[in-house]
Structures are given as structure tokens and as C-alpha cells.
A and B are shown apart, each in its own frame.
Chain A
Amino acid sequence: QVQLHQWGAGLLKPSETLSLTCAVYGGSFSDYYWSWIRQPPGKGLEWIGEIDHFGSTNYNPSLKSRVTMSVDTSKNQLSLKLSSLTAADTAVYYCARVDSDGYNRPYFDYWGPGTLVTVSS
């Protein structure tokens, strides 16, 4: 059974950098891409980006200038950094495993429980 556990600082100030880590247990880490997705309070889900075990990334263009994703394959972990935070970055952040349909389009079959990150002075 695949399980994702995630952690990171929950309260940050404007202009600071968000740092979250997600550990994957069960299943293959190297056979999949891994994504970060967020949900601002009262709003819908937003895809942040994805990374594979080589460190190859794809980012949402709206966040690309501030996002850095990385992996530690020795620990089956992925990490997210989001810089220059503002209140608009307040959200629950999820990590998720990316599977693909027959046309190489991604979807998310396993998710972490989410981490609430609040940006406030």
C-alpha cells in the first residue's frame, strides 16, 4: 500500500520561503512522477508542478518563477520550496503520486494528508 507522509513549517511571514517534504512508503519511487498541489481556503485545487526521480521537473507557469522541487531518491522523498511568499500562498499543500492514462496524461492516484501553510505577518 502506497502511503505519503508530509511535513514542514506551518506558519510563515510574507517574503519568506515555504519548505515542505513528502516521504513515500510502499510502491516504486522511481517509476512515477510526483506532484505538489495546493488548495487555498475556500478555493479549488491548483497544480503546482511535478518531478521525477531524476529531478526532471514541470512547473505551473503561474508559479514557475518561485518554485523549486527536488528529490532525494535514497530516502524516497520529494521536497517543495516556494519563495517570496504572500498571503495568497496560504493553502493546504498536498503531495501526490502521478500516474498516467493511455495517452500519457497525468492524474493523481495517491495523496498525502496535506499540510496547512499560513502566510501572515
Chain B
Amino acid sequence: QSVLTQPPSASGTPGQRVTISCSGSSSNIGSNYVYWYQLLPGTAPKLLISRNNQRPSGVPDRFSGSKSVTSASLAISGLRSEDEADYYCAAWDDSLSRPVFGGGTKLTVL
């Protein structure tokens, strides 16, 4: 049971905009930054979004993050086939004193 809650799956067609939600609580998302990671099979996970909405160097501006109170979202616009991957949200949890993750969302590009 993951501390942060994500939908298990999401899908979209090429060119579409999709959003992935991440729900937490006051002890994690409510009081700390949210991070998003992209996991592709056989490759090193990639930091996509830092500090709620900052894109690390090299991440396309098609990816954007937002946060509101105890929830966060990852938006992917202009969907491409190479975006098909698992996406995880993460945040520090003040009560648990450790980083916590969502259960992951598998994005399918139809």
C-alpha cells in the first residue's frame, strides 16, 4: 500500500494531453515538494519534475507539474509513443521521516 495514491493506468492518443494525479496528505504533499519520475523498462529511472513544477535540464516542456494543497498532477502534452512508461510521484513525509512514493501510473499511448 503506497503512501501516495495514483491511478494505476492512464492512456491517450498521439498529440493528446494527459494528466496523472497524485494524492497525499498534509504530512507529505501538503508540506513538501513533489517530484515525478519516469520509469522505462530496462533503463535508469529519470527525474521528470522537481520541486512541484521545475523541469530538469533536458526534459521537454511537454511535461509539466502542478500542486494544490495535498494533491499534485503531472501533465503531458503532445503525447508521443516514447512517452509510454510508468510514472511515479514522490515527496518527503514529515510523519514517517522518509521519502514516500505513489504506486505508479502506467501510461499507454494508443
Contacts and interface: CB of A to CB of B under 8 A. Distances in A.
Contact of A113 (B35, B42, B102): B42
Interface residues of A, number: 24
A91 to B, nearest CB: 13
Contact of B101 (A44, A61, A109): A44
Nearest to B32: A105
Interface string A23-62: 0000000000000000100011111000000000010110
A44 B2 contact: yes
B22 to A, nearest CB: 11
Nearest to A6: B44
Given A109-B56, A112-B44, A44 B33 contact: no
Label chain A's interface by main secondary structure.
strand
Contact of A109 (B47, B98, B102): B47
Contacts of B44: 4, 94, 110-114
Contacts of B39: 39
Contacts of B92: 105-106
A44 B92 CA distance: 15
Most buried by A among B43, B45, B51, B102: B45
Interface of B: 2, 32-33, 35, 37, 39, 42-47, 50-51, 56, 88, 90, 92, 98-104
12 contacts: A43-B2, A45-B88, A45-B101, A45-B104, A46-B101, A47-B100, A101-B32, A107-B99, A108-B47, A108-B99, A111-B46, A114-B44
Given A44-B103, A60-B98, 17 more contacts: A44-B88, A44-B101, A45-B90, A45-B104, A47-B98, A47-B100, A101-B33, A103-B33, A105-B33, A105-B92, A107-B33, A108-B35, A108-B47, A109-B56, A111-B37, A111-B45, A113-B42
